[in-house]
Amino acid sequence: MGNGVLIFGATSRIAEFVARRFAEEGKALTLVARSREKLDVLEGDLTARGASAVSTFQVDLGDVSQVEKFLNEQQNFEDDIETVVIAHGFLPDQEAIQNNWDEVASAYEVNLLTPLLIATRVATWFEKQGRGTLAVITSVAGDRGRKSNYVYGAAKGGLSLYLQGIRNRFGKTPIRIIDIRPGFVDTPMTAHLKKGPLFASAESVGDGIVRAIHSGKDIVYLPWFWRFILMIIKLIPEQIFKRLSL
């Protein structure tokens, strides 16, 4: 097994900072994203920062068939990759899509189905090798259903449960499954939201992800204080919680 890092959704703002940190460590990087133009720009940046090699692949990560085709064609990945980061997804407008099943299904395809497909395939690779690290960006939105984002939250919560199962499956092996749960992050995906003191920068979250990968933690809230915020939210009795505007 090599020392390469494979990043899905590599041109997302958070993933860019993750890739930069690994480039500075001299890692070989494989980047997968939808935009060829952004991939080319990122490749040049990472090469300048010290990456030992950079490979890029243009794939629509919101399309299950494209993702499956890509994974089937990359048989060498299981020999070259030691770390996989799944970072793609998007935050839909809850009120705009909640009564439109086609839009809901589209949101689930990119936020849940393709990450599950990738995680399933990566688990097979790592099981053959006997080691490896899979880090997946989920969200604090998946910790409890709220009217403001339950389509997004259900996808992220389902993804977290799936990761928990894989982690349990490999619990007695060197294979590590890391669930990254960011809170509000200042990225293009949240540009429409009013910013407040709970917002973190994409750079700080990216740095936190790399630290989590190196430390071997199972579940990481970023920034750290979201663990305690969600702990309180999950303790609220349902009879009270359902009346809250969250």
pTM: 0.94
Please write down the long-range contacts of 137-141, taking CB distance under 8 Å and 24 or more positions apart. 137/14, 137/85, 137/86, 137/87, 137/89, 137/180, 137/182, 137/209, 138/163, 138/179, 138/180, 138/181, 139/181, 139/182, 140/181, 140/182, 140/183, 140/221, 140/226, 140/229, 140/230
Give the start-to-end residue ranges of the domains of the chain.
4-241
Tens-digit pLDDT profile for residues 172-223: 999 999 999 999 898 777 767 777 678 889 999 999 999 999 998 999 999 9
Distance between CA atoms of 11 and 204, rounded to whole angstroms?
16
Q: What are phi and psi of 235, to 5 degrees?
A: -85, -10
Tens-digit pLDDT profile for residues 138-185: 999 999 999 999 999 999 999 999 999 999 999 999 999 999 999 989
Tens-digit pLDDT profile for residues 38-81: 999 999 999 999 999 999 999 999 999 999 999 999 877 777 89
Cβ atoms of residues 225 and 233 within 8 Å: no
How many Å separate Cα 220 from the centre of its chain?
12
The CATH homologous superfamily of the domain defined by 4-241: NAD(P)-binding Rossmann-like Domain (3.40.50.720)
Q: Where are the beta strands (DSSP E) in the chain?
A: 4-8, 28-33, 53-58, 81-86, 132-137, 175-182, 185-186, 200-201, 219-222
Beta strands at 185-186 and 200-201: parallel, antiparallel or unpaired: parallel
